[in-house]
Structure 1
């Protein structure tokens, strides 16, 4: 579902049960993100979940019932690759549990606000699966030591622990969730066209210190060219 309010596009993860991810659901979320990014009337993107869950991760039951794991994994990788290429700020409003690949989506967003009751993180080890794809954004967001604390144990973080390790930025009551995430988006969208620098921000994160400084020179100068 794609809705706009105050120039903020609201993209909703709307899947079966706890918003489990299957290829169709992931394709829809990706299409909504890209549509919002291309819409000139949209200044920022807010991502949340339908009902009382944010996202329960990949639909493992469907995979075990005969679904092709490669198709599911590839669909997740395609979706996660979209986030660093968006030219508009994106925030997660974590309205309930965001586990497994749902946690990786939270990690891929620029900013996240959560309700106090939410569990956020990987649980796959507890059911005999290693989150091969979902771990990538979690490692990038939290670093190897903290990510392993979660991934290696298969125990999702509480909202408080998620705040402590930087997986989310604020904890608010459910009634304030959308407004809180929107507050940051309004601030982040003030750069207008300059927010295309968001893409370079994520490219920069993969570079060495010196290479990053060198690459930044032309990017800085380009902002002042007419």
Structure 2
């Protein structure tokens, strides 16, 4: 871990990354909850209900979605009420380190999927013999070309092959990769800004806020 710069405040690039990700891929309700967790790390569920005006069932559904995506985490604390009874309370926060790792993983998974599509497109049949129905890929075109006749002929029966016709609406994987790189570049820029930064333990596992309503911004 040498060479890392320890910080005690969440970097602006990190909060921007969180907001960009949730606004681009999550519901408005999820974005609202995430924004509150940025301002109030370790917020109590009761306070979230009060601030958002969601009912408990709706909030729990939103929280479940965000937890499944590993965007947020929770802690349960037993507290004694004015009646002397102990009750369980949920507190929520963003573990930014895990959030960044999840984003990197998901971006890498999409990139790998597109690369697989590219490979599949490369090895798919591009030519077919109308006589024996043998197929050939782009990588085999050099074997088919007859310089004497200036035609592409089947290596088995020597019949001139025909180019395979695919649905014109079928996407070009190279175009898809270029589009992916263009759309994801803002995320990669923010991730690069975070290289070499280590968040303090209090940022990764923040203290619980007993009453965020009075401090709502």
- TM-score per shorter chain, which class? under 0.3
Q: Which has the larger radius of gyration?
A: 2
TM-score scaled by length of structure 1 = 0.21
Higher normalized contact order (CA 8 Å, seq sep 6+, divided by chain length): 2
